[in-house]
Chain A
Amino acid sequence: MTDYTLSELLICAASEAWRGDGEVLATGIGLLPRLAASLSMLTSNPDLMMTDSEAFMLSRPNPVGARDPSFRPRYESWMGFSRIFDNVWGGKRHAMVGPTQIDRFGQSNISCIGDYAAPKVQMLGVRGFPGNSISHANSFFVPAHNTRVFVEGECDMVSSIGYNPDRLPRGYSLDEIDIRLVVTDLCVMDFGGPGHQMRLRSLHPGVSVEQVQQNTGFELCVPAEVPVTPAPTPEQLAIIVEMDPHNLRAREIKNNPPGDRSR
């Protein structure tokens, strides 16, 4: 059996988000989601589109980290920020983002924690979350699954629209909101439970249902059978090494634990 780290398991699990998406812009915010999108483009969905995280579209993902001076990115078009919005609002995009808070409605927060007038913790600001969430598919990546992220009440500053009937704008239906996978260091979830309840899809090796529920601030939908998240294949691991030659992924999760925590 191949050894793999938790980071590598998460990259592979997260890359599943784009399978079957066809030609959409895959945006992975943060190192592991970016590697996941790159992996998907090189395996499960070669039709994906990707940017260089600056101002161009690429026909092949760039490796992360410092690159040899002889490296030439494979550009395919200009893609400055104003054009990103054209793409976003047209809907042909699926982003994977890492919110600081996520609530039972799938609403999320990257703005601030605490009293809005003088927050306890000011973070980035809502950035593009409102526009992304009303326009195209989104998945969430959570490297530390706990009740501070999966909050009991609503998010302190709701930055993205979720499946909250009380906030649904006039003339819209909850089914127009498209939240896909929630990939954490413990499990993979989605919002496919009854009434868009967050639902467990798979548990990472060595993780129990109780552990997930204890670290989530609201009740999860737990199907009778919950599979184990598949281990990375040697082919996937080889692509991950190619896309992350400096092993930056080893620094993303504290102590770089092994992927199978039962061993």
Chain B
Amino acid sequence: MNKLMNARDVVGRLHDGMTIGIGGWGPRRKPMALVREILRSDLRDLTVVAYGGADVGMLCAAGKVRKLVFAFVSLDFIPLEPYFRKARQSGAIEVMEIDEGMFMLGLRAAAMRVPFLPTRVGLGTDVLRRNPAIKTIVSPYEDARELVAMPALRLDASLIHVDRADARGVCQIKGPDHYMDDLFARAADATYVSCDELVESDWFASPDEARYVFWERAETTGVVHLPGGAHPSSCNPLYGFDVAHFKEYAASATEEGGWQSYLDKYLGASEDDYRERVGGLEAIRKLPLPTY
């Protein structure tokens, strides 16, 4: 089976009003090239579900987001994501704000095809008051305790970036954490993966390589070869996040017309164009890994 496609094909399969999951975590291994392709499109009214970073900030800045499901939006070393803040503070987006573990349970429930998973997380907090759609239940067992019934976060599509993949959709993440990307893949009707390196299936032949594959290829709908496609987020161990770029991006939010200037300077007509504008793949691959 050949699942290769290009970024435009992926966005062509997304529709206005869809619920889109985005893998990665904050400024780490985000499918930014696919996000940029959404920025180039007229797609809108999206419900975005993400452990958010600049993916969420950029989609908010571009007016693509109707609703955001989130636990945080942060660039780590820049703790507060500037365009997400603007969107929230101007009341531009609807939100479902939940704990980051509830978020994982919601994805897991969708992946397990159950309507909810019970948890103590969220009890006693405004997460329940601000989200009347999230119900509580009472344990059917002797303890009769109240529990949050975290609803399944079913996704129309997920976008994920990985280190490498083959044309059949076997995806490898060699970085220290695959975050919840396996659950994003399982929770979605369709999962589109961008990869820094496209490899032959033989790449995975040894157990040392195969063990870094976190979901089965049946969960992968499409594969797009986009070298440096996580930039400006990191794709550890291939490259770190681009501190200077993020600083410039964050600074643009404080200027009148700053978002448009950022787009004019960097977005370009295609990912090849973008990569060129940020110094080429060689420059991306040289970005140092962060020290935590």
Contacts and interface: CB of A to CB of B under 8 A. Distances in A.
Given A118-B90, A170-B146, A131 B292 contact: no
Given A54-B177, A85-B101, A125 B121 contact: no
Contact of B73 (A54, A107, A120, A125): A125
Contact of A82 (B104, B119, B130): B104
Contacts of A128: 71, 99-101
B178 interface: yes
B80 A158 contact: no
Interface residues of A, number: 51
Interface centre among B85, B100, B130 (most CB of A within 10 A): B100
Nearest to A54: B292
Contacts of A130: 98-99, 102, 121-123, 125, 127
A225 to B, nearest CB: 34
A107 B129 CA distance: 14
Interface string B262-284: 00000000000000000000000
Contacts, number: 142
Interface string A40-53: 00000000000011
A172 B144 CA distance: 10
Contacts of B115: none
Contact of B127 (A53, A117, A126): A126
B89 to A, nearest CB: 5
B100 A131 contact: yes
A168 B128 CA distance: 12
Range of interface residues on B (Cβ < 8 Å): 35 or more
Residue among A52, A56, A122, A167 with the most chain B CB within 10 A? A122
Given A118-B91, A128-B101, A167-B124, A80 B179 contact: yes
Contact of A124 (B72, B138, B145): B72
A236 B154 CA distance: 51
A153 to B, nearest CB: 13
Interface string A98-123: 00000000010001100011111111
Given A134-B123, A171-B146, 19 more contacts: A117-B91, A118-B91, A124-B74, A124-B79, A126-B71, A126-B99, A126-B127, A128-B99, A130-B99, A130-B125, A131-B101, A131-B121, A134-B120, A157-B130, A159-B126, A167-B124, A167-B125, A169-B145, A171-B139
11 contacts: A81-B177, A82-B104, A82-B179, A124-B79, A126-B98, A127-B71, A130-B125, A130-B127, A134-B124, A159-B125, A171-B144
